[in-house]
Chain A
């Protein structure tokens, strides 16, 4: 009996040593709302990130490196009970060989080139200065620099009426008559109009938000969450959320709860439905962007 007990205990110990696998977990997946979160603004004091975003809804990112950019945008901005619409079209031809660096050596853009005339919907685009602001990390001062000129049509209420109307779910014709070479013409398809709504629950560290909008066809879709700076009211795009165009998104709580309220006075939620086209052509690549944007500006609860 003693031997039996001894071998029994030994057997049990061996089993316990060898039999301690963790059971394989079952994987659960969320069929809806895959979400990619990307940080846009690294430094909320550096206006490089906000350059032009508040007016065009276009996030300027020099590191993307496209030589030629054409964007057409239909932008609605809602704040409190008012909504106003803006149509914006631009074409920028960068000289990739001519970098613009900040005093601290950071690439902040490329000089532009004038290669010919640009028309959008048969309207001639105006040549306007393309200026960006950035933070000199050596002095800490905000500086601006002129990268050159861009072809732009910008229709917004009360100011600079370029008589250009962005038609949703339609197309914008693009014509380029270069100084050298043959004219180029194509139509840029435009996405459908977006109408969005933001709802909040709680406040402070318990703030939760959900965005709803009219869902569209599968395609490029993103929501950019930005903050309006206290003082200069500049809008900094903070995060890009890529998700499905299915009409609803629960904003991850952590994104809202940790935004320092002493720096920002308002949230800006830009719901962007877009069509993107990339044409690779060595150093002469072309990026065409057509987007429908509804920016919701809300006071921080």
Chain B
């Protein structure tokens, strides 16, 4: 960012900084003359103050400019007060009066030119185009002393002062075009409209500020990122050319620039230069700049030349003196500056409300996040699914290096209270935030929310169905077992689990039949209570029911997932009898009817497979389960090849 005192050849003179046009700039671009389209890279509010000194015979200091700017979305508004934009001339007419006492008084005239106020408006039509206009208010005053004789009783001569004022407005328009990120083209009018003028006398009309219409064409080019080259040409045959460059320093930037200008009314060919040095950060900028003219700026000039050529520009003309200017710009961004961008989000998992715990460990969406800054940032992703989450659900934070793009995982939490009877499309809002409460970016995506009974087909996720309805299962199991209290009380402890399993299974199957899922439906799993109420289900439903009932009374179970089998999937249940291998004969003499698994202490325990779709009796179910298990899991090495998988519930 460079603050540079910009003199635009002849027609305009700009003391505030030209920040350049690249996205590094966050400060004010307040230059009506170079850019009436004036689309500023200012994010919100901006305040600029220019204070300078002029080096004539003595040093005169003044506030040149005070401006306030505001950006509203794609609109930009700027107001400025320019008390220092003035030029005065003192004209010794050459006439003097010799009074009676021989004193001599010279008649003087004074011409004063001021630009007092200005306002600018611009609008960003697109990323490539912006346009705007400016209005500036000028005032001129011509005070001419003349001799006047008074014919009374005696004749006297007095000096009379006659003043004539002229106030007027100038309006200009302009357009900026960004054909690429590195080039800016601009065109604007000079003195396109002038109105509000007073009719001046012929002599003063000749001295009035020249308002010839012209156009200004500009080009700015960034050959490399931190170097900007500028050229502006006016159709009045004046031009200026220069460069800006900057370096990162701490949290800010140090900049330097130099501009040379040619003005057709000034000599030599390059009439002067404007060196500038600046420092800026996100909050403020300061620039020290100056104007150095290459010709001797005599303080006494020819009136006839002035009368002939007139004055076109108040601040930059052949009568201007060298200057030094300090410009301060303060930016107040009430609008959050975007640090990261959420480029895209991919939904990788549908939402199955019953599989609530799944989404705590597995993301349901992955986002692509781009760091727009050059520094590393800590990104906080969060999301909210409509109809599922009442609050935003925070996902793990991630650090992204400057200008880097990473994948961010979005997790969610499905409350127990969520109940969906059918599958529907919902919307998920994804947010990424770096600081503060406002997100830097957000995106909304459609997400499929399945019904409570929907299942993703993954047998390991059947455990969520098993665990979800444990209250029902407990009550149901207890009710069954209560009818066999006497029998259970007489059993040895080590056989308790086995016989409970048998009792529960035999009681359960009395009212159950095997039924498949409805045609053309996605996977559908019934909760235990539903299977009991519906009096039937498929292998998933029956396995869930049986496992749930056993688990509710403390009997450990596992699901056996038979995967391949010509594409027909099957699941049944393994139950833990808690019997040691040497106790196997308490339940069977056939050692192929059980399967040993180690418990958490490393001790072998006897597990028996039960085919839950075999609804005759427990023994048949056990036999069928054993047959299938021995065949596919053991003999066909299904466990080894992972075509058969044992999934513990807990």
Instruction: Using CB atoms and an 8 Å cutoff, list the residues of chain A in contact with chain B.
Output: 8, 12, 15-16, 18-39, 41-44, 238-239, 252-255, 258-260, 263
Contacts and interface: CB of A to CB of B under 8 A. Distances in A.
Contacts of B491: none
B116 to A, nearest CB: 14
B94 A35 contact: yes
Contacts of A252: 95, 146-147
B57 interface: yes
Nearest to A36: B96
B83 interface: yes
Contact of B148 (A18, A27, A35, A258): A258
Contacts of A258: 148-151
A20 B155 contact: no
30 contacts: A15-B49, A16-B63, A21-B60, A23-B56, A23-B84, A23-B86, A23-B88, A24-B56, A25-B90, A26-B299, A29-B91, A29-B92, A29-B303, A31-B303, A32-B304, A33-B94, A34-B95, A35-B93, A35-B95, A37-B97, A39-B155, A42-B156, A44-B155, A238-B155, A254-B146, A254-B147, A254-B148, A255-B147, A259-B151, A260-B151
B143 to A, nearest CB: 12
A27 B151 contact: no
A263 B58 CA distance: 52
Given A23-B84, A31-B302, A39-B156, 8 more contacts: A18-B61, A29-B94, A29-B303, A30-B93, A38-B98, A39-B155, A42-B156, A43-B154
A27 B90 contact: yes
A17 to B, nearest CB: 10
Given A24-B56, A36-B98, A19 B63 contact: yes
Contacts of B150: 258
Interface string B291-311: 000000001111110100000
Interface residues of B, number: 52
Contacts of A41: 155
A253 B147 CA distance: 8
A255 B159 CA distance: 11
Nearest to A264: B151
Contacts of A24: 54, 56-58, 60, 88, 299, 321
Find the residue from A25, A43, A263 having the highest chain B CB count within 10 A.
Answer: A25
Contacts, number: 145
Given A32-B304, A37-B97, A21 B92 contact: no
Contacts of B299: 24, 26-27
B301 A28 contact: yes
Contact of B89 (A21, A28, A42, A255): A28
A248 B617 CA distance: 139
Interface of B: 49, 51, 54, 56-58, 60-63, 66, 83-84, 86-100, 104, 110, 146-151, 153-157, 160, 299-304, 306, 319, 321, 330
Contacts of B149: 39, 238-239, 254-255, 258-259
B97 to A, nearest CB: 5
A31 B300 CA distance: 11
B296 to A, nearest CB: 13
A285 to B, nearest CB: 19
A239 B95 CA distance: 13
A37 B147 contact: yes
A254 B300 CA distance: 27
A25 B89 CA distance: 5
A44 B154 CA distance: 7
A34 B154 contact: no
A124 to B, nearest CB: 39
Given A28-B89, A29-B302, A254-B160, A44 B95 contact: no
Contacts of A8: 330
A255 B51 CA distance: 46
A23 B87 contact: yes
A135 to B, nearest CB: 11
Contacts of A18: 61
B590 to A, nearest CB: 84
A141 to B, nearest CB: 16
A39 B100 contact: yes
Nearest to B318: A26
A252 B97 CA distance: 12
Residue from A8, A19, A31, A41 having most chain B Cβ neighbours under 10 A: A19
A37 to B, nearest CB: 5
Q: Which of A26, A29, A35, A253 has the most CB of B within 10 A?
A: A26
Given A36-B98, A37-B97, A263 B330 contact: no
A28 B111 CA distance: 10
A235 B634 CA distance: 149
Contacts of B94: 29-30, 32-35
Given A21-B60, A26-B87, A44-B155, A37 B96 contact: yes
B146 A253 contact: yes
B159 to A, nearest CB: 9
B301 A26 contact: yes
A252 B203 CA distance: 13
B155 A35 contact: no
Contacts of B160: 254
